[in-house]
Amino acid sequence: MTHSHTQESDTYFRAFRKKATGQSVYTFDVVLPFMLHGKLLRSPHAHARIKSIDASKALAMDGVSCVVTGADLAELADPYYGVGLRDQPVIAIDRVRYVGDVVAAVCAVDENTAYRALQQIVVDYEPLLSVMTPSAALMDDAPVLFDTPTRGVSPVIGAGSAYKIDPAPNVLYEYTFGYGDVDRALDSAHALFTDTFEIGRINHFHLEPYVNVARWTGSQVEFWSCNQDPFVLRADVARIFGLPVTDVRIRTPLIGGGFGGKSYCKMEPLVALMSRKAGAPVRLALSMDESMLTLVKHPASLTLTTGVDKQGLLLGRRADITLDGGAYSDASTLVAIKTGFRIGGPYRWQAIDSRARIVRTNTIPSGSFRGFGGTQASWASERQIDMIARRLGHDPVAFRKRNLLKAGEPFAPNDRGIDLDLAAGFDRLIASMPARTKGRGQGVAIGIKDAGGTGNHGQALVRVNQSGQVCVSTATVDIGQGAPSAMCRIATEVLGLPRNTAVYASVDTEHNPPDNGTHVSCATMITGLAVEAAARDALQQVLAFAASQLGCTADDITLEGWLVRHGGALHPLEPMIRKYFGGIGWEFIGRGAFKEPYAPATPMGAENVSWMPCWSGAEVEVDEETGQVRVLSLVVGSDAGRALDMGTCIGQVEGAAAQAFAQAMFEEMRYRGDQPDNATPLAYRVPRVADMPQDFRAFVMESRLGVGPGGLKGIGEAGMLGIAAAIANAIEDATGASLTKTPFTPERVLAALDARQAPDIAASK
């Protein structure tokens, strides 16, 4: 399904015209005079102590400027980064904790020289025992990754939530969430089901690699960065280097895909350190192999115990969730919180009791990935709901409908009510499914997550000049989601000006007002509200000025395009402004802000800004001889509250669904022993066009119940949530085979087909 755009649709069209003609500038394209190039030496060991590093041969090479190692971190105010909990050194200090950990960084005149210099660096390692899986890491005698307590603090949480930092060896963080009396709810159940689900490790595979250019002038550092969160990055770099934030400047050109991979601080402080040591601007563009060693989505194991009453109403759920955090914290705390919180899914419960632990292993750090634990939670929850319905002999559709939350009902105590009609979207999904065909199975799922983040804020400037041309300035970055177009549309709607009068300012922390970063589907909603307020402010200024010129009050006049209506007369504004201000004219600069206040009585510590559904349906055909699953139809829907641009919303939902589809069917980053098995673009498989189901459709509802301008809300992560469960549910519908682990490889499908004969493991009372 696609949606046509006309030239009239302005900013969107102009931005895409640049993309279609090769004129868009990404960080990847930034070149500075006398710029050097960096390359990184990475650990071949999963776990080892660094005994010594000899870079003398590399330094003696023509064209090599400097080599940065852990010894250089002594000059930093704080050499560690991470979200809340900070345990990742800017570069390995005395120990490496995964294959790919950065050990040395070379700055040279070009990348080839830097690559060759890496080969000349001699690192003496003392290998240590490694732990590659959470179960290995949790054994009593397991080697421990960190000898000291973890620095930093937990993200904010509220009533019903609790956390522990370093609760056990190799456990970084434990989050617990609950309400009601879960023991009582489960004891009173007519039927109890305990099942364990697993989900594999995937990489973001954004096509633009991680790329940063850093340059120092005196004690100030400036970046051109692909990072999604310029103000978050600014704060991290300032803390690490002991600088005031005003001495750190981040410019964010167009970003070539991120999906969470480019959120939060990663190698940027290292690039700054390289540049400072080299005394020249330095560009570090990782290869895609290196990108794949930088961050992955948390693999997880989720054990759910769910109680149901005689009528098929859900009573209580206990969840024990283990997330593989990899070697370093990154955003693991947030993922633990969100997975644990979301495990109930879109249903009404008497009681929930969940625990989500981040276990450290000697693998690639896990962090944010489009949905922040939402995919893991929805996979397990929606798979189990379906299994329960089938075991009880209930129709999975009717079973879900009986338990679905209604609009306005809280997801959890004291939280904001559900801001959409979950049943209406579900009905639309069911109606969108193909007619039943013999030999094929159909499955559905309803993923859900909160969206918009916790207590987030955004600020905006809307500048309107004498000609009625608008410049919208915020910190929301363009990562392909069309945010500039959305922000311009929100501003021009308030001002009553044509959409093509607005441009979106480039993102630069020295000029734009801040926000919390472009992630958690918050930009159009949170920063959009700030833009709306800023546009109103600008409008009031225009009206006040015009009233003063016309000798009336602002209440007497209205704006019609760039004309002022006063009684029966229309007055052009531009001559009025030029006459008064002269010179080059004037700008009415509107300021706007939005802050979701903290609310300690809510589970997340602030009301969740919006609710994001993912109605998912799949039709499959299973070759029982080979275990091959063909997904013939994939239908996915979400709610945008209000779609500013339907084509863009559909594109977001389809794009996320394609990623989730691949994770369900074949995509996985694997390890062989302690080495990554397929962390190269050649070996790691992401979906190509021929992989996609022939019938692949998305729909977007408009509940108008979001808190954003006109009732809108974010939609970027939605399409990920329900897909894996819908496909597995369809496989069970077709064959009776029960898949509980992604991806659904032929081997696993065959094993599940064989297991059909085994006695039912459900503990039914």
Partner 1 sequence: MRLNVNVVVNGRSHALEVGAHETLSDVLRERLGLTGCKVACDQSVCGACTILVDGDPVSACSTFMFKVDDSKITTVEGLAAGGVLTRVQEAFLQDGAFQCGFCTSGMILLVTALLARDPNPDDATVQQWLSSNICRCTGYNSILAAVRRASAGLRTEAAA
C-alpha dihedral sign at 159, 160, 164, 170 = negative
In angstroms, give the least distance from the CB of 308 to partner 1.
Answer: 35
Q: Which is nearer to partner 1, 290 or 419 (CB)?
A: 290
- The binder of partner 1 chosen from 386, 654, 674, 717 (CB under 8 A): 654
In angstroms, give the least distance from the CB of 26 to partner 1.
Answer: 7
Would you count residue 630 as binding partner 1 (CB under 8 A)?
no
Would you count residue 13 as binding partner 1 (CB under 8 A)?
yes
Element (H, E) at 277: helix 268-278
Q: Using alpha carbons only, give the angle 406, 408, 412 rounded to the nearest 5 degrees.
A: 85
Q: Which is nearer to partner 1, 13 or 146 (CB)?
A: 13
Rounded-to-5 percentages of helix, strand, coil across the chain = 30, 30, 40
Instruction: Give all strands (DSSP E) within 361-440, no chain letters.
Output: 366-367
In angstroms, give the least distance from the CB of 576 to partner 1.
Answer: 36
Count residues near partner 1 (CB under 8 A).
60
In angstroms, give the least distance from the CB of 419 to partner 1.
Answer: 25
Would you count residue 690 as binding partner 1 (CB under 8 A)?
yes
Residue 348: burial class (beta carbons within 10 Å; 0-12, 13-18, 19+):
middle
In angstroms, give the least distance from the CB of 643 to partner 1.
Answer: 13
DSSP letter for 598, please: B
Q: Which is nearer to partner 1, 20 or 570 (CB)?
A: 20
- The binder of partner 1 chosen from 133, 135, 194, 287 (CB under 8 A): 287
DSSP letter for 39, please: E
Would you count residue 166 as binding partner 1 (CB under 8 A)?
no
Please, which of residues 22-51 interact with partner 1 by CB under 8 A?
22-26, 28-29
Would you count residue 80 as binding partner 1 (CB under 8 A)?
no
Would you count residue 692 as binding partner 1 (CB under 8 A)?
yes
Look at strands 88-89 and 102-108 and give their pairing. unpaired
Please, which of residues 237-256 interact with partner 1 by CB under 8 A?
254-256
Residues in the chain: 765
CA separation for the pair 557, 241 (Å, rounded): 53
Distances (CA, A) of 671 to 94, 103, 132, 728: 24, 21, 8, 24
**Contact criterion met (CB below 8 Å) for 485 and 618:** no
Would you count residue 677 as binding partner 1 (CB under 8 A)?
no
Would you count residue 583 as binding partner 1 (CB under 8 A)?
no
Look at strands 36-42 and 282-285 and give their pairing. parallel
Q: Which is nearer to partner 1, 13 or 586 (CB)?
A: 13
In angstroms, give the least distance from the CB of 272 to partner 1.
Answer: 24
In angstroms, give the least distance from the CB of 433 to partner 1.
Answer: 18
Q: Encoding tokens for residue 615?
A: 């109605």
Edge-first strand order for the sheet with 470-473 is: 502-504, 470-473, 457-465, 587-595
200: CB partners within 8 A, 6+ apart: 299, 663, 667, 668, 669, 670, 741, 742, 743
Would you count residue 259 as binding partner 1 (CB under 8 A)?
yes
Would you count residue 489 as binding partner 1 (CB under 8 A)?
no
CA separation for the pair 362, 96 (Å, rounded): 9
Q: Which is nearer to partner 1, 152 or 687 (CB)?
A: 687
Peptide bond into 603 cis (omega under 30): no
- The binder of partner 1 chosen from 71, 207, 570, 761 (CB under 8 A): 207
- The binder of partner 1 chosen from 417, 681, 710, 711 (CB under 8 A): 681
Please identify, among the stretches 73-81, 377-385, 448-456, 687-695, the one whose residues bind partner 1 according to the rule CB under 8 A. Answer: 687-695
Please, which of residues 732-761 interact with partner 1 by CB under 8 A?
none
In angstroms, give the least distance from the CB of 352 to partner 1.
Answer: 33
Instruction: Determine the residue type at 509.
Output: T
**Contact criterion met (CB below 8 Å) for 605 and 620:** no
Please identify, among the stretches 118-126, 552-560, 643-651, 731-739, the one whose residues bind partner 1 according to the rule CB under 8 A. Answer: 643-651
In angstroms, give the least distance from the CB of 514 to partner 1.
Answer: 23
Please identify, among the stretches 494-502, 598-606, 649-657, 732-740, the one whose residues bind partner 1 according to the rule CB under 8 A. Answer: 649-657
Would you count residue 63 as binding partner 1 (CB under 8 A)?
no
Please identify, among the stretches 70-78, 200-208, 355-363, 724-732, the one whose residues bind partner 1 according to the rule CB under 8 A. Answer: 200-208
CA separation for the pair 97, 183 (Å, rounded): 40
In angstroms, give the least distance from the CB of 572 to partner 1.
Answer: 31
Q: Encoding tokens for residue 50?
A: 């660094």
CA separation for the pair 734, 736 (Å, rounded): 6
**Contact criterion met (CB below 8 Å) for 295 and 261:** yes
Please identify, among the stretches 65-73, 535-543, 648-656, 743-751, the one whose residues bind partner 1 according to the rule CB under 8 A. Answer: 648-656
* Helix 268-278 vs helix 230-241: crossing angle, to nearest 10: 50
Q: Which is nearer to partner 1, 25 or 122 (CB)?
A: 25
- The binder of partner 1 chosen from 82, 100, 134, 209 (CB under 8 A): 209
**Contact criterion met (CB below 8 Å) for 214 and 268:** yes
Please, which of residues 372-401 interact with partner 1 by CB under 8 A?
none
Would you count residue 562 as binding partner 1 (CB under 8 A)?
no
CA separation for the pair 441, 729 (Å, rounded): 8
CA separation for the pair 96, 49 (Å, rounded): 6
Please identify, among the stretches 237-245, 334-342, 349-357, 690-698, the one whose residues bind partner 1 according to the rule CB under 8 A. Answer: 690-698
Instruction: Determine the residue type at 49.
Output: R
761 C-beta neighbours (distance < 10 Å), count: 11
In angstroms, give the least distance from the CB of 727 to partner 1.
Answer: 15
Q: Is 391 helix (H, G, I), strand (E, B) or coil?
A: helix
Draw the binding track, 90-129, toward partner 1 (x: CB under 8 A; -: no contact): ----------------------x-----------------
Q: Which is nearer to partner 1, 388 or 656 (CB)?
A: 656
* Helix 396-403 vs helix 422-432: crossing angle, to nearest 10: 160
Q: Is 168 helix (H, G, I), strand (E, B) or coil?
A: strand
Would you count residue 444 as binding partner 1 (CB under 8 A)?
no
Would you count residue 311 as binding partner 1 (CB under 8 A)?
no
728: CB partners within 8 A, 6+ apart: 383, 386, 443, 664, 738, 739, 740, 744
CA separation for the pair 316, 707 (Å, rounded): 30
**Contact criterion met (CB below 8 Å) for 543 and 554:** yes
Would you count residue 688 as binding partner 1 (CB under 8 A)?
yes
User: Nearest CA to 723 among 392, 422, 395, 429?
Assistant: 429
User: Nearest CA to 490 among 717, 594, 645?
Assistant: 645
Draw the binding track, 457-486, toward partner 1 (x: CB under 8 A; -: no contact): ----------------------xxxx----
In angstroms, give the least distance from the CB of 658 to partner 1.
Answer: 3
CA separation for the pair 48, 334 (Å, rounded): 28
Would you count residue 434 as binding partner 1 (CB under 8 A)?
no
In angstroms, give the least distance from the CB of 27 to partner 1.
Answer: 11
Q: Which is nearer to partner 1, 689 or 758 (CB)?
A: 689
Would you count residue 686 as binding partner 1 (CB under 8 A)?
yes
Would you count residue 5 as binding partner 1 (CB under 8 A)?
yes
The residues with which 48 forms a beta bridge, in sequence order, are 96, 127
Would you count residue 182 as binding partner 1 (CB under 8 A)?
no
Q: Which is nearer to partner 1, 443 or 480 (CB)?
A: 480
Q: Which is nearer to partner 1, 259 or 328 (CB)?
A: 259
Contacting residues toward partner 1, per CB under 8 A:
1-5, 13, 16-26, 28-29, 112, 204-209, 254-259, 287-288, 479-482, 647-648, 651-652, 654-655, 657-659, 680-682, 686-692, 696-698
